[in-house]
Chains A and B, each alone.
Chain A
Amino acid sequence: GENVEQHPSTLSVQEGDSAVIKCTYSDSASNYFPWYKQELGKGPQLIIDIRSNVGEKKDQRIAVTLNKTAKHFSLHITETQPEDSAVYFCAASEKGGSEKLVFGKGTKLTVNP
């Protein structure tokens, strides 16, 4: 089955700097790659996703890139703000007739004011 590796496990940046989180996946059949943000005490919430027919997608300060050949994808947050502090999870779709996802182990991002 699919395996997703996520790095780094923790990331600390200064406010205004950029943050990059990287993930690799094992199954070349995966075609959907979402990123979720989890704030303390809450459930994860989708912030951006990308499908295998697209190489890059942006939404304001957030962007995701996908390299299908290398089987890796990355989350880029520019001009970080303290409210970006959270745990971020990448995920990759599992093949089959469902919408099952395999998640990475998460990255705890701290943005220092």
Chain B
Amino acid sequence: IAGITQAPTSQILAAGRRMTLRCTQDMRHNAMYWYRQDLGLGLRLIHYSNTAGTTGKGEVPDGYSVSRANTDDFPLTLASAVPSQTSVYFCASSALAGGFSEQFFGPGTRLTVL
């Protein structure tokens, strides 16, 4: 069982470019999340999805968009990258089947915007 996979592992991007971070889970979880992790700031929620076809904004959504066309995939898009979006991005999923359940995290994508 792979769990959650993310791609790419790392990326260097010029400011102003468009970038999509990919996330796929094979656990048939209903809910998926995108976080960014910055030194000293912990994990901050960007966007989330409770089920295919629905998305919601987290704490720091500006500059990012998501889609949830099916259960397994939850891509995160930076329409026009800026240096402040340099961060490590983690995708996560949880069952969302009544009562809180564990969030499983992917290995992360390290993004550098120059």
Contact = CB atoms under 8 A, between A and B. Distances in A.
Contacts of A9: 40
B48 interface: yes
Given A100-B48, A105-B41, 15 more contacts: A1-B59, A6-B42, A32-B100, A34-B103, A42-B107, A44-B43, A44-B90, A49-B102, A89-B42, A98-B50, A99-B31, A103-B35, A103-B42, A103-B43, A104-B42
A46 B42 contact: no
B100 A44 contact: no
Contacts, number: 60
Interface of B: 4, 31, 33, 35, 40-45, 48, 50, 56, 58-59, 90, 92, 94, 96, 100-108
Given A97-B50, A100-B58, A105-B41, A43 B96 contact: no
Interface residues on A, range: 20 to 34
Contacts of B44: 103
B106 A43 contact: yes
Given A44-B43, A44-B90, A101 B103 contact: yes
A7 interface: no
Interface in A1-49: 1, 6, 9, 31-32, 34, 36, 42-46, 49
